[in-house]
Structure 1
Amino acid sequence: MATVPAPDPVLTRAANIEELTRLGLPLPPPTYPLVWEPGDQVSLRPTREIEARAAILYVTLERCFGMPPELAVDWLTTNALVDDVTDPEWAFITKSEGDHRSFALHLDAVASLTWVLGTGKRLDPTGPPDPQSALLPNLATDETFEEWRARTLPAPRDPALVAAVLDLYYCLDWAFIESETYGVDTPGHLGSSAIGQRRWGLEWAVVLDGPYQEPELGWEEIDLST
C-alpha cells in the first residue's frame, strides 16, 4: 500500500471544525490533540488485511442475529481466517460470551472498512451506512473469502483522504459524546456509539508514520478514550 504525505493537520482540523459547525455540533477545545503531526506519512493497511477484518466483523454480526456457532467457525476455518480473529471475538463466536449489544454495534465499524475499501460509497455522519449485505461475503450461500474478494474488486481510497475523514470522526466522536452528556440534539439518526465504531474502523485501517506515532495496533488495542 502506497505511503503518501499526510495532509496538513492544522488545515485538516480547521476544515473538520467547519463541518462540525455546519452540523450544529459542539466544538472540541483548541487543545484537542491532532491525530498526526506536520511531516508525518500515511498509508493504509494491506487491502487483504482490511478485507479479512471486515469479513470477521461480519461473521460476528451474523452470530448476533442467529448464525449457528458451528457454521461461523466452519466458514472462518475453511477460509483460513481463524488466526485473524481476536480472543474476545472468538469467545463470542464460539460460546456467545461477551456483550451481545457491543458486538451488534460493529455494523458501523464494518461500514467504515468497506468505505475505506471503496466498495461502500457513503460514510455520512448524519445517516446510516450503505446496506452492507451486498458488500460482504454471502454467508448464506457459503461464498468463500476469495470469491468475495474477486466479486467486489475493492479500490481502496487515497490514504490522505482516509486520514482526513479519520480526523473528522475523531472530532465527531468528542462532539456526539458531549452532546449526549448534556442532552443536546445531534443531527440525523446516529448516536455516539455508531460514530465511535466508525472511528474505530478508520483508526485501525490508517497507518501513520512519524516520530511521535506508535507502531500499528491490533484491533482490540485501538484506544477510543481520547
Structure 2
Amino acid sequence: MQCLSPVESEVLNVVLAADIVPNRMDDTQLLQAIQALAGNGVSSISQAMYIEERVPSGTDIAYTSAMQRVDRQINTVASNTIPGASLDSVGHTFTLPADMTFRIRATVPAYRVNSFRSYLVSISGDAIEIMGGNAHASDGSAVGGHSHIDAEFSTIQETVLKVQFRGLDAFSPNGFGSGLTVSGEDNVYTKLMIERVA
C-alpha cells in the first residue's frame, strides 16, 4: 500500500505491527492496532492483587516452632484486578491464573526470633519455591525486622501459593508481630503485591 504522507506511513506501520491487513475503507484500524498492541503488555501492567495478613487491633501473633516452616496467615484482599486470581482466606493461600507472568513483592515481619527468612511456595500447579532475604530480629534487644521477597515468574497452569516463615528462635507472645492498639484500626503484618507483567 502506497502512502501519500509521512503520517500515513506511521499509521500504516502501527497497523502492520498489529498484524492487521490494511483496508482504506476501515477507519478503525489504528484504534484496533493500538488496542491489540497494548493488550500484549501495556494494559496488563495495571492488573494487580494486594493481599495481607490482617488481625484486629491489639492482636499479637505468636511464633512457637523454632526452625520449622510455618504458614503466614494471609487472610485479606485489599484489592484485586487480576482476572482469575483469588485468595482462600481460610487456607491462607492464593491462586494465580495460567499463562501469565507475575512480579511479587512481599514484606514478612518478625519480632525477637533472631535470624529468619520468608518463602513463597506453591502447593499445586507449577512448582515454585522462592526464598526471601535473610533478616534479623534480635531476641535480646526486643528488635523487629522484615524479610523481603522480590521475584518474577510465569505460570503455565493455575497455581496455588502460600507464604511461609522460618525463624531461629520461637517467641511465643508475638514472634510474628506485636500488635498496636488503635480504635478502629486493624494490625497488618505480612503484605504482598502481586502484579501481572505479561
Q: TM-score range by the shorter chain?
A: under 0.3
Structure (1/2) with the larger helix percentage: 1
Q: State the TM-score, normalizing by the size of structure 2.
A: 0.24
Q: State the TM-score, normalizing by the size of structure 1.
A: 0.22
Name the larger-Rg structure: 2
Structure (1/2) with the larger strand percentage: 2
